[in-house]
């Protein structure tokens, strides 16, 4: 059985995100990192492999992105993936959600996975939708927000977190599953794994290699256009209550909360 994990390179969480107002795209020139939500998907794959209830022969990390995205793949390999696939092509520049999902589905088709795992969201785009788009192209069942996965008679029994509680769903493979960040505590890579990651096989593919028509991706293949991007409104300055007389301070805090109907 083969598990493919979709991973993405995103701006590091510590970096202030900037928009390039010319192209209306995120400026990705600063420090980048593996999308933290994807570390949960890699850990879920490793737990399925190590759990022994499914015969998992390999875990493959897959990404779409510029040359720098290889670093995200190396981190995924350091966390346990056996090898990685990098879809990289200038034709992909400017792909929106649907075009990105189609391109990723084409790479996955060439790998014929039994399970596709994703993070719940990317830390930059936060579209939460790639899993569903990929599943639609692959004609596989799609589950989102999965926070528990057990193997039962060769099937996966998954719990997905919903607003009202949990859904328990039995899933026949192959399937596309995006996992919530409550599913596990991702491991830290060992120094040996970090050093060894660069030596694991990395397959770089162009759009032509996986049968993507250039007109289906990039700006040409995207049917949405970003027309405006605005920074969030600045935070209002907070009110500081000095504690000179505790009884009076408590009264002031209660009055402040009461005014805002918070109590
Ligand atoms: C209208 C619009 C226009 C856009 N225009 C551009 C543009 O011009 N240039 C540009 O660079 N981006 C653009 N984007 C953003 C780009 O398309 C996003 O990377 C893409 O939409 C995926 O969304 P997401 O990463 O937020 O996915 P989510 O659904 O939030 O991510 C969920 C999971 O999907 C997987 N995943 C997501 N993306 C990838 C990937 N590339 N490779 C591997 N796994 C992945 C990860 O496992 C991730 O945890 C645009 C988006 C929109 C909505």
Check: CB of residue 105 under 8 Å from CB of residue 137. Answer: yes
pLDDT mean over 95-107? 97
pLDDT of residue 186 exceeding 90: yes
Nearest ligand 1 atom to the CA of 130 is 29
Give me the chain's average pLDDT, please.
Answer: 94
- Which of 5, 39, 91, 125 to mutate to test ligand 1, by most ligand atoms within 8 A of the CB atom? 125
pLDDT mean over 220-233? 88
Q: For residue range 103-133, what is the model confidence (pLDDT) as tens digits?
A: 999 999 999 999 999 999 999 989 999 999 9
Comparing 184 with 22, the larger pLDDT belongs to 184
Give this prediction's pTM.
0.88
How far CA 156 is from CA of 40, 145, 159, 173, 177, in Å, comes to: 17, 15, 10, 8, 10
pLDDT of residue 137 exceeding 90: yes
In the reported structure, the alpha carbon of residue 141 is separated from the centroid of ligand 1 by a whole-number distance in angstroms of: 21
Comparing 88 with 239, the larger pLDDT belongs to 88
**pLDDT on residue 229:** 82
Q: Name all domains of the chain by residue range, CATH numbers in brackets.
A: 2-216 (3.40.50.620)
- Is residue 129 lining ligand 1, measured as CB closer than 6 Å? yes
pLDDT of residue 23 exceeding 90: no
Q: For residue range 227-242, what is the model confidence (pLDDT) as tens digits?
A: 888 877 888 888 898 8
The span from the first CA to the last CA of the chain, in angstroms, equals 55
Comparing 73 with 155, the larger pLDDT belongs to 73
In the reported structure, the alpha carbon of residue 239 is separated from the centroid of ligand 1 by a whole-number distance in angstroms of: 39
In the reported structure, the alpha carbon of residue 165 is separated from the centroid of ligand 1 by a whole-number distance in angstroms of: 28
pLDDT mean over 22-43? 92
Distance between CA atoms of residues 62 and 130, nearest Å: 13
């Amino acid at each position: 059985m083969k598990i493919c994990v979709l991973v993405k390179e995103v701006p590091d969480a510590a970096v202030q995100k900037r928009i390039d107002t010319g192209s209306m795209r995120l400026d990705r020139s600063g420090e980048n990192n593996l999308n933290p939500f994807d570390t949960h998907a890699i850990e879920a794959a490793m737990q399925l492999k190590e759990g022994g209830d499914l015969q998992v022969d390999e875990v493959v990390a897959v990404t779409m992105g510029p040359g720098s995205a290889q670093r995200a793949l190396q981190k995924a390999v350091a966390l346990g993936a056996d090898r990685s696939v990098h879809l990289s092509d200038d034709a992909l520049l400017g792909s929106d959600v649907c075009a990105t999902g189609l391109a990723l589905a084409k790479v996955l088709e060439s790998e014929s996975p039994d399970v596709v795992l994703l993070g719940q969201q990317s830390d930059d785009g936060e579209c939460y939708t790639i899993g569903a788009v990929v599943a639609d192209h692959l004609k596989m069942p799609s589950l989102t927000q999965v926070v528990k996965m057990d193997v039962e008679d060769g099937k996966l029994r998954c719990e997905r977190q919903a607003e009202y509680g949990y859904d328990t769903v039995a899933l026949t493979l192959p399937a596309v599953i995006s996992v919530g960040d409550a599913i596990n505590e991702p491991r830290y890579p060992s120094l040996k794994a970090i050093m060894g990651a660069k030596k694991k096989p990395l397959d770089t593919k162009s759009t032509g290699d996986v049968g993507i028509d250039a007109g289906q991706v990039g700006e040409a293949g995207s049917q949405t256009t970003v027309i405006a991007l605005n920074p969030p409104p600045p935070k209002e300055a907070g009110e500081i209550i000095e504690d000179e007389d505790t009884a009076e301070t408590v009264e002031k805090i209660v009055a402040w909360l009461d005014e805002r109907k918070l109590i």
